[in-house]
Structure 1
C-alpha cells in the first residue's frame, strides 16, 4: 500500500511563500532529500516507525511517523512519568548542541516563565507534555541530507497509549511551524514535499522521504486544501465495491475536516451512514465465509472465519474497493487495505 503525501500535489498543499520561492529557484530540484527506513507494521504494533538521531553525539530514537501531529517529541531524562520504550530517554545534558527554548510571547511557558512548553492530547485520550528545545537531527546513513538543527519536545509526562507503546515518541509530519517538514522547508534545505511508502501487511516496513523525488508513473494524485483544516485532507467523492458505485451523497465525506490522511491512525474510519452501506456491499459479495464474533465484546466488529491468512489470496474471496476523488481519480484498495487480521 502506498500513501504519498506530497506538498506539491496541488497549489494549496502548503504555505504559498514556500512554493513561490521554490518554483523560482534554479536550484530547487537539486536540493537533497532525507531517505529514511520505516519499521514495524500494523499487525505487530498498529503503527510504522522511523529512526531519528538527536544531539551531539547522536542519541537514537524510534518514532511513530504521524502526519496528524505537528510536534516531534521524545522522552526526556527528566521525565516524571514516562513508560519503558525501545531506546533510552533523551539526555539533554549529554548533548553539546542542545538548547532549551526560552519563554517568549510566541509560545506557552512553564510556571516560572522560563522555558517554552508543549502539550498534546489525542483522540484516544493519551497525552504528552514537556518543554521545547533545539538540537541537531540526523536522518541516518541513507540520507543525502546533513544533520539539521530543529525544535522538538522533551517529554516530562506521557499518559495512555503513549505511556505503554514500544516506540519512543512521535515524529510530527503535519502542517505547522513545529513540523519537521515545515522546519526543513523554512531552512531551505529540502523541497516542499515528502512521501511515505508502506511495505504492506505481510512485509512491514517501507520508506519515507523528506524532500522531493520523482514519483512512480502510476502514482494517483489528488488535491488537499490547507485553508480548510490543520490536517492533510482529500476530497473523497465515491466508493466502489466490486466495480459498483455505492449510493451515497458525496457530501457525506465532506464533514468538518473532509477526509483526513493520518499516518498515525491505525484504522480507516467512515461516517456511520457510509460505513453501513459499505458493509452491506461487502457482505453481498461474500458467499463462502462464516461471520463470527470479534475479539472485543465491547465492539460490534464484523469478522469472518474461513478466509486464507495469506494476504495474496484474500482477493479471491473479498471484493476490490476503489476510492474516487474530486476529478475522478481512483485508487484501488486490495482486501488487505480494508481488512484487519485478528486471532480469536
Structure 2
C-alpha cells in the first residue's frame, strides 16, 4: 500500500472513531434529558438454594464464576426474585410478581411454553383455591382494561379483549386482558413496568387444582412478558434459566443478556419453526455409543422443544425404546421395581444406593449431539428421578411422547445454565451448579435491598398493616423504636413422628431469612403426634445491639408472607405468631455495670494482697508473737482488720 493511501486510511479511521464517540455522547445526553434509561438492561432473578446441605454434583466443566465479575457485566440495575417450590415435588417452579397499585402479589409458574402471563380475577366464574387472593382490578388505581379492537378477540359485549389457552394435559385458561403496573419485588432496581396480562374468568384441569396462582409467560409472542420488556427496551432480547439438581433446587433466572461462558455449547433455534423454543437435536449417545436412529426422528412436527413448564422429557416412541434399552443394558445388575404411583407404568430400579452423589458411578453418561456437532453431557440427575417410596431406587424421567414432537422438560436441564439467546436465534447450555449460580450472582451483581418507602413529613418508615406483627407499631420511627429481636412460633407437621433435627432446621431458616446461623435460636418446642409447635428467636448480628429497620422489615415480610421454603423432609409448616421485642436502651450504670463490678473486685483483690504483704513484712520485722493489744505499755497501735 502506498504511503499516501496508508495515511488517508488512518485519517479516515480516526475520523470514524471521533464521530462514534460524539454519537455516543449525544445518546447519553439525550437519555439524561429524558430522565429514562433506554438501554437494554439485564434483570437477574436468583432461584435460591433450598437446602445448603443437600446433594451437590461436581461437573467436569465447572462454571468459571470470574466471568460474571461485575466489571464484565453491563452496568445496569437488576431485579432479585426468589424461585419457590420444586420441580419434581410440585411439577414446576414459581416466582412471585406484583400487579397493580398498591401491589397485589402472586405466585406464578415460570413457563417458557406459555406466551401469556395470567392470574385469577376477582369475578372468576370457575377458578380454584390457590396460594394467594384473586386479583381485584377495582382495588388498583393503575388498572386499565384492554379495549376491544381488530387486533384481538373480544368478549360478548364487544368491550374488552380476551385470551384463551389450552394445554397438553387437558387444562385450560381463559379470561380478559388488562394493562397494569408489574413489579418484580422490593429488592429490584428495575423500575416497575406497564404490561398486558390475563385476568382469568375460567380455568380447568390442573390449572384449577394447582397451588400456584397462575403462569408467567416467557414464550415468544407479543403478549409474552419477555417480549413486552424487550419492546420497552428494559432488557436485552435474551433470558436464562438455571434449575438446581436432584434434591437441591435453587438456581437463578436471568431476564436480559449476560456474557456467554466460552465453554457454553449452542444449538440453533428457529423462531419460525414453531411458537416454542426449539433446538436442532441430531443424536443421543449412551455410554459413548450413538442410538441407532434416523436423525430426522428428532425433527418431526415442532422438532425438539424446550419447555420449562413441563416436568419430564418425552421422546418419539422409537427413540424412547432405543434409549430405554440402552440404559437398561448398562444397569442390568439393578433390580427392576414398581414405580411410586400405581397409575403410571414407571421404569424403576432399586439397589443404586441412597447417596445421590454416587449415581454417576452406576448409571451411564448420556450426550445430546446438536446438528453443529456440539454436545451437551447429561448426568443421571438429568434423566432419572428419585423413587419416593424406596430410598435406594430411581426411576427413568424420560417417557414416550404421545406424538412425534420431542419435548424436553425441566428435569433434562437440572444443574444446567440455559440461555435463550433470542436475538441471535440460538440456545446455549452449560453444565454447572445452579445453586451456586444464585449465590454468585448475588455476590457479584445483585443490588442492595431497596429501602422501604420513606415519608419525609414525619421521618417514619410505614409498615403496611397487613404485615405489622404483634409488638411492632404501625409506624416505626428510626432512632426511637429499635427492634432488639424477633420471635415467631411455627407449627411443623412432619411426615413421621420422629423429632426433627432442630440444628439443621435452624440452618435452613437462617438461609431462607438471609441471616447468619448464629442469629437463629431455638427457644422451646412441644409436640403432639406429628405436629411440633416450635418457638424461635432471631437476634441481630453479633456486631449490633438491634436490627436496622430495613433488616427487620425484610425478615418480617419473609415470615409473614410465607416465603420460607423448607426441604420436603421437614414436612410442612404454618406460621402461628410473630412478635418483635423493642431494644431497651440502658442507663449508664446498666451499660457499664460489668466494668464497674470488675474494677471493684480487682481493686479489693489487689488491695488485700498489698495489705497482706505489708502486714507480713511488719510481723517479720517485729518478730513472731510480739503483738501487743491496745493499751499495753509501749507505742500506741491501732488494730487493723484483715
Alpha-carbon offset, residue 186 of structure 1: 1.0
Alpha-carbon offset, residue 142 of structure 1: 4.3
Instruction: Say what the alpha-carbon RMSD is for the aligned residues.
Output: 1.9
Alpha-carbon offset, residue 248 of structure 1: 1.0
SS at structure 2 position matched to 1:170: strand
Contact 1:39 1:49 in 2 (8 A): yes
1:193 corresponds to which of 231, 238, 245 = 238
Alpha-carbon offset, residue 198 of structure 1: 0.8
Does residue 100 of structure 1 match 2:145?
A: yes
Instruction: Show the 5 A alignment for 1:185-334.
Output: 185-334=230-379
Alpha-carbon offset, residue 96 of structure 1: 1.0
Does residue 124 of structure 1 match 2:169?
A: yes
Give ranges in structure 2 of 5+ residues lacking alignment. 1-22, 29-36, 46-81, 390-642
CA distance in 2, matches of 1:116, 1:59: 22
Does residue 147 of structure 1 match 2:192?
A: yes
Deviation readout 1:165-190 (Å, 9 max, x if unpaired): 11110000111000001111111111
TM-score, normalization: structure 1? 0.89
2:119 corresponds to which of 67, 71, 74 = 74
Q: Which runs of 4+ in 1 moved over 6 A?
A: 24-29
Alpha-carbon offset, residue 288 of structure 1: 2.7
CA distance in 2, matches of 1:57, 1:125: 35
Q: 1:303/1:105 Cα in 2 relative to 1: closer, same or farther (>3 Å)?
A: same
Alpha-carbon offset, residue 295 of structure 1: 3.3
Alpha-carbon offset, residue 336 of structure 1: 0.8
**Equivalent residues, number:** 321
Does residue 31 of structure 1 match 2:29?
A: no
Contact 2:174 2:203 in 1 (8 A): yes
Alpha-carbon offset, residue 307 of structure 1: 1.8
Show the counterpart of 2:95: 50
Alpha-carbon offset, residue 30 of structure 1: 5.3
Deviation readout 1:80-126 (Å, 9 max, x if unpaired): 11111111111111111111111111111111111111111100000
CA distance in 2, matches of 1:142, 1:35: 11
Alpha-carbon offset, residue 296 of structure 1: 3.8
Greater alpha carbon shift after TM alignment, 134-143 vs 168-177: 134-143
Q: 1:95/1:174 Cα in 2 relative to 1: closer, same or farther (>3 Å)?
A: same
Q: 1:29/1:290 Cα in 2 relative to 1: closer, same or farther (>3 Å)?
A: farther
Deviation readout 1:233-254 (Å, 9 max, x if unpaired): 1000010111111111100000
Show the counterpart of 1:114: 159
SS at structure 1 position matched to 2:123: coil
Show the counterpart of 1:20: none
Contact 1:35 1:143 in 2 (8 A): no
CA distance in 2, matches of 1:141, 1:217: 34
CA distance in 1, matches of 2:324, 2:155: 49
Show the counterpart of 1:163: 208
The structure, 1 or 2, with the larger RCO (C-alpha pairs under 8 Å, 6+ apart) is 1
CA distance in 1, matches of 2:353, 2:90: 22
Which protein shows a greater Rg?
Answer: 2
Greater alpha carbon shift after TM alignment, 41-50 vs 263-272: 41-50
1:178 corresponds to which of 223, 226, 230 = 223
TM-score, normalization: structure 2? 0.48
SS at structure 2 position matched to 1:277: helix
Q: 1:30/1:309 Cα in 2 relative to 1: closer, same or farther (>3 Å)?
A: farther
Deviation readout 1:192-243 (Å, 9 max, x if unpaired): 1111111122111321111111233332211100111111110000101111
Contact 2:39 2:234 in 1 (8 A): no
SS at structure 1 position matched to 2:131: coil
Contact 1:322 1:332 in 2 (8 A): yes
Contact 1:32 1:144 in 2 (8 A): no
Greater alpha carbon shift after TM alignment, 313-322 vs 124-133: 313-322
**Structure with greater helix percent:** 2
Contact 2:246 2:385 in 1 (8 A): no
SS at structure 2 position matched to 1:222: strand
SS at structure 1 position matched to 2:382: helix
Contact 2:99 2:105 in 1 (8 A): yes
Deviation readout 1:32-74 (Å, 9 max, x if unpaired): 2222232211222011111111111111111111111100000
Give ranges in structure 1 of 5+ residues lacking alignment. 1-23
Alpha-carbon offset, residue 298 of structure 1: 4.4
